Amino acid sequence: MTVDSSTKRRLAIGFITNWISRLGTTIVQLVQVPIFLHFWNVALYGEWMIVSAVPNYLNVSSTGFGNVAGNEMTMMAARGDREGALRVFQSCWWLITFICATCILLLAIVLYFFPAASWLKLHAIGPVDAKWIIFYLGCSVLLSQLETLLQASYRCVGRYSYGSLLKSAFSLTAFAVMFVVVCLGGGARAAALSYALANGFFTFVLCIMVRREIPWIRFGWTHARLSEIRRLVGPAIAFMAFPLGNALNLQGTILAVGYALGPTAVVIFGTARTVSRVALQVFQMVNNTFWPELSIAFGANNIGLIRTLHRRSCQMALIIAVSMVLAMLTFGPWFLTHWTRGHVPPSRGLLAILLLVVIANALWSTSSTLLTAVNRHQTLASWYLFGTSVTVIITYITAKYLGLEWAAASLLISEIIMNMYVLPTSLKLSEDNFPAFLKSLTHYPHSLRPAALLRHLRRAPATDLNPPEESV
């Protein structure tokens, strides 16, 4: 199955914008450590990592509807059903708004009555500051769920790369505002407030841009339907397991290490993991690029294109992951020493184990993009939540009794579980078979090589997924 010119062009632009987005995320991750360690001490930074991990669990509240709505809108637009896409947008907009407002109220009540600082074993961050930090960052996390739906508007008209670029620019600016506050002597509470205010402002800006640039996407309740919400409830609830699983996999393991060994161990473990996940950030841009195209192909019932896109995305992710891991094994310890200015001792063994986790993650996470892009991810979500939950428990046990390297090795558990489920399921959905899939990983079509895509991008005329704008 060949890939048509408009798809190639969108893939080429998508690769570029996702590369920029991932580069921005990586820069933030790399820059924040020396900035925080320069203006704060190690204990304060360690506690900041712990307390800022807590609000990420609020991602489970409404991100399911945002992502599921994005998939549904994209598939509907691919069939020419703009009215259906608008119906999904307005229905989910009001639902997400209600859920976010409710969660903010509940968060305020919980923080008022419960001693967060005591539960998290904080000393450098006071009890009052800990509550406000969690509240500010929690509001920021909840607002991001509306951004997910707003980005879906660009995705359903084939402009997902533009939406991704906007999101990256806004996120980088919000982090920059926070870093400026830290450099000016601000503490943890001031940093959290500045970040939350910046994110709130950019969410409002994105609302205005969507309304002006995609006229048929309108805010209101005329097209909102309770039946749409009921239809999307199942996939949306399943989608909520992914941010919860991510929080368990990332912040949950950080908290487990913190409980077992203290904030200093958290800094050592967290910085090594950040370096290892640079590779993961790079190959995940492949997933984000192919995701909308898989939704479009499925909406148009083009099984041949689905199979081709699935094969090529898995192949590219593996190539990038292996290449980046080899580079990190060579330069990682040296980089860790200079990155932290000697504050955090590098461990080659710890880094090697964390990089092995990245390799194990590469194939299943990219293959699962097919399932999530077409809202066939319910069982996938259950397996992911199960795997990450088990991992957090074992991470705590291994950290407490065996040390950091064994804690890092425990992260392989969820990766092995997911590989055993995801690949057979994706091959069945794309009507592929395992021998042909393996063979495809060693064959790279000339037309989809990066250089060929860039040449196509230079000579191809601008195209849009949909016909000219018309009212709904």
Q: Which of 142, 108, 165 is nearest to 243 (CA)?
A: 142
Q: How far apart are CA 287 and CA 285, in angstroms?
A: 5
Q: Are 232 and 88 in contact (CB under 8 A)?
A: yes
Q: How far is CA 342 from CA 24, 199, 335, in A?
A: 25, 33, 10
Q: What is the pLDDT of residues 273-330, one digit of tens each?
A: 877 777 777 777 788 888 888 988 888 888 888 999 999 999 888 888 888 888 888 8
Residues 6+ apart with CB under 8 A from 29: 274, 277, 278, 281
Q: Which of 244, 43, 56 is nearest to 137 (CA)?
A: 56
Enumerate residue ranges in the chain where pLDDT < 50.
Answer: 62, 453, 456-457, 459-472
Q: What is the pLDDT of residues 199-234, one digit of tens each?
A: 999 999 999 998 888 888 888 888 888 888 888 888
Neighbours of 34 (CB within 10 A): 14
User: What would the 3-class secondary structure string for 334-397 be?
Assistant: HHHHHHCCCCCCCCHHHHHHHHHHHHHHHHHHHHHHHHHHCCCCHHHHHHHHHHHHHHHHHHHH
Predicted pLDDT of residue 471 = 37
Predicted pLDDT of residue 109 = 92
The conformation of residue 460, written as its DSSP 8-state character, comes to S
b/e sequence 112-141, b meaning 16+ C-beta within 10 Å: eeeebbeebebebbeeebbbbbbbbbbbbb
Predicted pLDDT of residue 63 = 56
Predicted pLDDT of residue 383 = 92
Predicted pLDDT of residue 408 = 86
The structural domains of the chain, with segments of one domain joined by +, span: 5-453
The dihedrals phi and psi of 41, each to the nearest 5 degrees, come to -85, 170
pTM (2 d.p.): 0.70
Helix axes 5-39, 450-459, angle to 10 degrees: 110
Q: How far apart are CA 446 and CA 3, in angstroms?
A: 12
Q: How far apart are CA 219 and CA 118, in angstroms?
A: 43
Neighbours of 399 (CB within 10 A): 24
